[in-house]
Amino acid sequence: MSTTFLAATTDKNLELVLRVLPAIVIILAASAVCGRLALWVKQPRVLGEMVAGVLLGPTLFGALFPEAQKAVFTAEVKPILYVLSTLGLTLFMFLVGVGLDHTAGSGRKDTRNAAVLAVSGIIPSLLLGAATGYLLHDRLSNPDVSSFEFALFLGGALSITAFPMLARILYERGLENSPLGRMTLLGASVDDAAAWCFLAVLSAMHTGAGLPHALRTIGLTIVFTVVMLTVVARLLRPMGERVERTGLFGFDQMYVVVGVVLLAGYFTDWIGIYSVFGGFVAGLAMPRNEAFRQALHSRMMDLVCVLLLPVFFTFSGLNTELGGVTGWAMLGMFLLILAAGFTGKYFGCAFAMRGIGFSWRESWAVGALMNARGLMILIFINIGLAQGMINKDVFSMLVLVAVLTTAGAVPLYRLALPERIERCMSPAEGTADTEAPPSASTGAGSVHA
């Protein structure tokens, strides 16, 4: 595609298509290469795709080839990428919500342990992150963001856990039915659900025109959630039973599912929170039949992870300027944020697990898994950037936190639980051959977390 041809084109829609498609192809190529490199060094594919997004931004592509980067990601292309990334995030969070059902077979002890893990995964990170945000507010925050809001946002971002990645690791190793596996899956799901509810409230507080408007947004969010999890869930239940009975999941069911997700996303955008929260709640409202969930994931997950999420990573990368983190002052503040996030999750969860009777090896392994943030924190901070709760410097720092904590999760887990010890923990009845549920078994794409 040449500039001369574009200049001669009179069809503006065709001109836009001829600009967007090459950008998407470049995004997919970079994601494929970096994803494969990540697998080669024993890391999840999503880590490579996150790095690919950063490299396509001003950090590398824009620094080495500024004119080419501007030609690929023009001002006309960026809004299209934003729409595609928002659609991808909404659908992905919907699939995460569909997959949050790991209570089957969990006894009372597992549930109690999961509650301890969830609390230990949220509170220490939230408190350390909030304290760090309060200390750095004057140096890092936007002038119109109060120290209270900035502190809460930073604490909330650092309390995120990459639930789908955690699930993938456990299912790959046949530990999903072990006491540690059941407890960790349930605890992480509660952790992430709490983080999204926290973000919904914080977003309503920030965007509201005064306390009455914020209370209205929070109230509508509560009403929306209750209606989705009761009325809508009950209306959708026969569809799940029909799929379970017949084994057929066709276009009629897909129209209903996609319609519910998009309407939920539209409504949550309209009331003042982000569409990903609507997608997440819509996923929770879907039928819990295993056949229905597997069919849904097999139809949607690969397309979302291969086409739409790399667009989101790149859109995030276009807003990430790691050059701004250089210099001793900025580097020191970044290291303080990283230390707060790592310490709160890793040590908080590990000490809590040791306190309720798990071995030190198991405790450190759980701390490593819970410390991974992956895609989930990127969604969180993109919302914060879009709503003005953080600036690009803080955004870039938190992108680095996401990359580093995600990169450290698997090596720290393997250090705590080598394969020879891990094999002894698997349940006796062939758990290693158990098929993973759709939330964790849809190929490499499901590692997106």
The three-point CA angle 169-173-176 to 5° equals: 80
**Burial class of residue 2 (count of CB atoms within 10 Å of its CB; 0-12, 13-18, 19+):** exposed
At residue 209, the pLDDT reads 52
Q: Phi/psi at 105 (nearest 5 deg)?
A: 85, -5
Separation CA 449–CA 44 (nearest Å) = 10
Query: 158, 128 in Cβ contact below 8 A?
Result: yes
Instruction: Using alpha carbons, select from 275, 299, 292 the residue that is nearest to residue 82.
Output: 275
Per domain, the residue ranges of the chain are 12-447
**Burial class of residue 434 (count of CB atoms within 10 Å of its CB; 0-12, 13-18, 19+):** middle
Which amino acid is residue 382, in one-letter code? N
pTM of the model: 0.77
Separation CA 220–CA 206 (nearest Å) = 16
Q: What is the CATH number of domain 12-447?
A: 1.20.1530.20
Count the residues in the chain. 449
At residue 102, the pLDDT reads 46
C-alpha atoms less than 13 angstroms from C-alpha of 254 in its C-beta half-sphere: 10
User: Which 3 state secondary structure label does DSSP give 303?
Assistant: helix
Please count the other Cβ atoms lying within 10 Å of the Cβ belonging to residue 156. 27
DSSP state of 105: T
At residue 5, the pLDDT reads 55
Query: 358, 134 in Cβ contact below 8 A?
Result: no
Q: Which residues contact 395 (CB under 8 A, 6 or more apart)?
A: 319, 320, 381, 382, 384, 385
Please count the other Cβ atoms lying within 10 Å of the Cβ belonging to residue 173. 19
Work out the widest C-alpha separation in the chain, in whole angstroms. 72
Query: 165, 402 in Cβ contact below 8 A?
Result: no
Separation CA 85–CA 265 (nearest Å) = 13
In angstroms, the first-to-last Cα distance of the chain is 35
Separation CA 246–CA 90 (nearest Å) = 29
Separation CA 216–CA 201 (nearest Å) = 11
Query: 175, 102 in Cβ contact below 8 A?
Result: no
Q: Which residues contact 297 (CB under 8 A, 6 or more apart)?
A: 95, 98, 99, 438, 439, 441, 442, 446
At residue 219, the pLDDT reads 83
At residue 93, the pLDDT reads 84
DSSP H helices, 208-232, are 211-227
Query: 301, 446 in Cβ contact below 8 A?
Result: yes
Packing angle of the helix pair 275-285, 233-246 (nearest 10 deg): 60
| Sign of the alpha-carbon torsion through 321, 324, 330, 332 | positive
Which amino acid is residue 231, in one-letter code? V
Separation CA 200–CA 224 (nearest Å) = 12
At residue 3, the pLDDT reads 57
Q: Which residues contact 219 (CB under 8 A, 6 or more apart)?
A: none
Whole-Å CA distances, 243 to 39, 117, 154, 297: 35, 35, 42, 14
Residue bearing tokens 């999890």: 229
Per-residue pLDDT of the chain (449 residues; tens, 9 = 90+): 455 555 556 678 888 898 999 999 999 999 999 999 998 988 888 888 889 998 998 888 988 899 999 999 998 999 999 999 989 889 988 988 887 654 444 556 667 888 889 899 899 999 999 999 999 998 888 888 888 889 999 999 999 887 767 776 776 666 666 777 777 877 877 787 777 777 777 877 776 655 666 677 778 888 998 999 999 999 999 999 999 998 888 899 999 999 999 999 999 888 877 788 889 889 989 998 888 988 898 888 888 888 998 998 898 888 888 766 766 778 899 999 999 999 999 999 999 999 988 889 989 999 998 888 877 888 888 888 888 889 888 998 999 998 899 888 889 988 988 877 777 765 544 333 333 333 433 333 344 55
Q: Which residues contact 90 (CB under 8 A, 6 or more apart)?
A: 261, 262, 265, 275, 276, 278, 279
Separation CA 377–CA 383 (nearest Å) = 10
Token pair recorded at residue 366: 């759980």
